[in-house]
């Protein structure tokens, strides 16, 4: 302790700023000279679970909740006006929103730049909804803001008459909102409140209008987890005017149109179209006579996702989910060439088809790395030229022109069907040098039977012998939580 105590105050403050506030406060009992030091610590990290231990039911007891409120009030009061850089508050055991908002207002007034809130309230306390404090919407110091809540968060600032009062956060670079539901108004009016925003993540957002544009010149990372328009409806039209965007993570109901997609700088994209089973059926049989109903019309317009694909065509890394793959089957002949693309990742599901696979591989003329999560998929008459689900004359045709060097297979279950697909890849991908196969971790696989894993290993060995490609089977070493090669010696 003495060696530590002899350090200059500035350094001690810096050290203390890495401790949770409760522990930093405890240091004051150690030595007199520490007493007032921690009060100047610019980073506050307050977590109610350290006080209330909700798992033990203590949070139910009002006096303990009150002692938490008193502690936070005391810390903030003792610190006076000294500046706060970082404030992290976890308050999920039903402290009243008035207390929480008072603390948030205080640190905002003290110039906080990095604010992380993980807040939850009891239903009785927020019957009328939870409103963030006024200071939140006009801070000139906030650079990073993260809000997580299990409840509805209303972002929009209104006066008592419900009139829009606008928001200006001129310094905000990162905004990350993850809540049960976020109300942030229309994108056209929301985003201009953050003129220098670089990183935006919105989980569980709902589009207010069925026709919206995400427009920002500064945005570099955008992650949207949308739930369509109100009532889980497909939006009519979504546009992106984000010329500086580097990374795009988009998970949402398919919009009927993507009129403008400006993402020329894009490096990496993850696309997850959320579709219903019914929509999938219609995607597979576009010529059936269901066209009269509304949903039929909607599906016909799903082909407009090609405009989204055109907009992201400069990417080097592209990840698509199984549902996205099905939707793309409506338009894959017209998707552009992905001339910069080096990495393609796809997720498969047994109920979803690979119809888009053959064309997509041909549209990636410089692909080096193919990542496939799950080999098993729904058999259709169209995937045949990429896999060997059904017999075709031109079996493997789309693979023979594909320059992929490395293949990674995740979620391997040890079935013969998967083994024949791996062989198919070995035979038809002409440049393949390496296949890494990761065994499914969660579900029990065939490999848990010693006889099966013996056979699989023999086949792997053969694959290694007959091709110049290095085939490795990897299983998790749970003890060390890392993957180890068990290829030829399982
Ligand atoms: C992309 O967004 C989804 C949710 O929509 C999330 O689960 C995933 O972790 C995100 N991926 C990355 C790399 O950010």
Q: Hey, what are 54's tokens?
A: 């909700």
* Nearest-CA residue for atom 10 of ligand 1: 249
Residue 322 sits at the vertex; the CA angle it makes with 318 and 327, to the nearest 5 degrees, is 85
User: Taking a C-beta distance cutoff of 8 angstroms, is the pair 197, 219 a contact?
Assistant: yes
User: How far apart are the CA of 249 and the centre of ligand 1, in A?
Assistant: 6
User: How far apart are the CA of 472 and the centre of ligand 1, in A?
Assistant: 28
What are residue 344's DSSP bridge partners?
Answer: 318, 370
Phi, psi of 299 (to 5 degrees): -60, -40
pLDDT for 345: 97
Calpha distance 34→4 (Å, rounded): 10
User: How far apart are the CA of 136 and the centre of ligand 1, in A?
Assistant: 26
Q: Is 270 in the pocket of ligand 1 (CB under 6 A)?
A: yes
Calpha distance 221→477 (Å, rounded): 34
For 211, counting Cβ atoms within 10 Å of its Cβ (0-12 exposed, 13-18 middle, 19+ buried), the class is middle
Q: Is 225 in the pocket of ligand 1 (CB under 6 A)?
A: yes
Ligand 1 closest atom vs CA 225: 5
User: Taking a C-beta distance cutoff of 8 angstroms, is the pair 245, 294 a contact?
Assistant: no
Strand bridging mode 86-91 / 43-47:
parallel
Question: Residue 124 contacts by C-beta under 8 Å, 6 or more apart in sequence?
Answer: none
* Residue of 200, 225, 271 to test ligand 1 pocket, by largest number of atoms within 8 Å of CB: 225
pTM value? 0.87
Q: Is 317 in the pocket of ligand 1 (CB under 6 A)?
A: no
* Residue of 178, 205, 251 to test ligand 1 pocket, by largest number of atoms within 8 Å of CB: 251
Virtual CA dihedral for 242, 248, 253, 254, nearest 10 degrees?
60
Closest CA to 418 of 458, 456, 375: 375
pLDDT for 120: 87
User: Taking a C-beta distance cutoff of 8 angstroms, is the pair 278, 295 a contact?
Assistant: yes
pLDDT in tens, the chain (490 residues): 455 566 666 666 666 666 676 666 665 555 555 556 666 778 888 888 777 665 565 545 677 788 888 888 888 888 888 899 999 999 887 889 999 999 999 999 999 999 999 998 888 888 777 888 889 999 999 999 999 988 777 777 766 677 777 788 999 999 999 987 777 778 888 899 999 999 999 998 889 888 999 999 999 999 999 999 988 899 999 999 999 999 999 999 999 999 999 999 999 999 999 998 888 888 777 666 655 556 666 677 888 999 999 999 999 999 999 999 889 988 888 999 999 999 999 998 888 888 888 889 999 999 999 999 988 887 776 665 666 666 666 666 778 899 999 999 998 988 888 888 898 899 889 999 999 999 887 776 787 788 888 888 888 888 888 888 999 888 765 444 445 554 433 3
Ligand 1 closest atom vs CA 224: 5
Calpha distance 138→70 (Å, rounded): 27
* Nearest-CA residue for atom 13 of ligand 1: 249
pLDDT for 68: 84
pLDDT for 377: 80
* Residue of 179, 223, 245, 343 to test ligand 1 pocket, by largest number of atoms within 8 Å of CB: 223
Range 283-288 contact pairs with CB under 8 angstroms and sequence separation of 24 or more = 283/326, 283/327, 283/329, 283/330, 284/326, 284/353, 284/380, 286/330
Q: Tell me which residue has tokens 């108004």.
A: 185
User: Taking a C-beta distance cutoff of 8 angstroms, is the pair 198, 178 a contact?
Assistant: no
Closest CA to 190 of 159, 167, 160: 167
pLDDT for 480: 43
Ligand 1 closest atom vs CA 270: 1
Q: Is 204 in the pocket of ligand 1 (CB under 6 A)?
A: no
Longest dimension (CA), the chain: 85
- 294-301 and 277-284 helices, crossing angle to 10°: 70
User: How far apart are the CA of 184 and the centre of ligand 1, in A?
Assistant: 20
For 190, counting Cβ atoms within 10 Å of its Cβ (0-12 exposed, 13-18 middle, 19+ buried), the class is buried
Q: Is 223 in the pocket of ligand 1 (CB under 6 A)?
A: yes
User: How far apart are the CA of 115 and the centre of ligand 1, in A?
Assistant: 22
């Amino acid at each position: 302790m003495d060696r530590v105590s002899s350090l200059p105050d500035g350094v001690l403050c810096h050290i203390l700023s890495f401790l949770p506030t409760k522990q930093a406060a405890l240091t004051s009992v150690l030595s007199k000279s520490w007493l007032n030091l921690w009060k100047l610590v610019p980073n506050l990290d307050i977590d109610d679970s350290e006080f209330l231990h909700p798992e033990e039911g203590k949070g139910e007891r009002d006096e303990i909740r009150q002692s938490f409120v008193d502690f936070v009030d005391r810390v903030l009061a003792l610190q006076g006006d000294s500046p706060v850089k970082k404030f992290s508050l976890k308050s999920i055991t039903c402290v009243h929103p008035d207390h929480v908002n008072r603390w948030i207002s205080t640190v905002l007034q003290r110039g906080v730049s990095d604010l992380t809130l993980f807040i939850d309230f009891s239903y009785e306390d927020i019957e009328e909804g939870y409103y963030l404090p006024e200071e939140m919407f006009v801070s000139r110091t906030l650079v990073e803001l993260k809000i997580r809540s299990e409840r509805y968060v209303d972002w929009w600032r209104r006066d008592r008459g419900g009139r829009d009062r606008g928001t200006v956060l001129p310094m905000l670079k990162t905004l990350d909102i993850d809540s049960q539901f976020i109300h942030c108004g229309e994108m056209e009016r929301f985003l201009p409140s953050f003129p220098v925003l670089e990183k935006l993540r919105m989980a569980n957002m709902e589009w207010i209008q069925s026709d919206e544009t995400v427009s920002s010149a500064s945005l570099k990372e955008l992650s949207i987890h949308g739930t369509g328009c109100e009532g889980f409806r497909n939006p009519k039209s979504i546009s992106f005017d984000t010329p500086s965007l580097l990374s795009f993570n988009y998970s949402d109901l398919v919009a009927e149109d993507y009129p403008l997609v400006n993402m020329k700088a894009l490096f990496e994209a993850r696309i997850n179209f959320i579709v219903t089973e019914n929509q999938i059926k219609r995607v597979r049989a576009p010529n059936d006579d269901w066209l009269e109903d509304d949903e039929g019309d909607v599906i016909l317009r799903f082909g407009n996702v090609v405009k989204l694909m055109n907009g992201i065509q400069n990417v080097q890394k592209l990840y698509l989910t199984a549902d996205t793959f099905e939707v793309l089957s409506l338009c894959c002949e017209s998707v552009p060439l992905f001339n910069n693309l080096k990495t393609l990742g796809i997720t498969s599901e047994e109920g979803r088809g690979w119809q888009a696979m053959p064309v997509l591989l041909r549209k990636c003329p410089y692909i080096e790395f193919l990542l496939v999560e799950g080999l098993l998929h729904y058999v259709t008459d169209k995937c045949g030229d990429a896999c060997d689900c059904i017999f075709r004359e031109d079996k493997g045709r789309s693979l023979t022109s594909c320059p992929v060097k490395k293949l990674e297979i995740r979620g391997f279950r040890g079935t013969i069907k998967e083994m024949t697909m791996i062989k198919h890849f070995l035979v038809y991908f002409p440049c393949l040098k390496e296949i890494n196969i990761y065994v499914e971790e969660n579900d029990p696989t065939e490999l848990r039977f010693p006889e099966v894993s013996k056979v699989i290993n023999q086949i792997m060995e053969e694959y290694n012998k007959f091709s110049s490609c290095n085939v490795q089977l990897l299983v998790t070493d749970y003890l060390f939580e890392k993957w180890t090669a068990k290829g030829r010696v399982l």
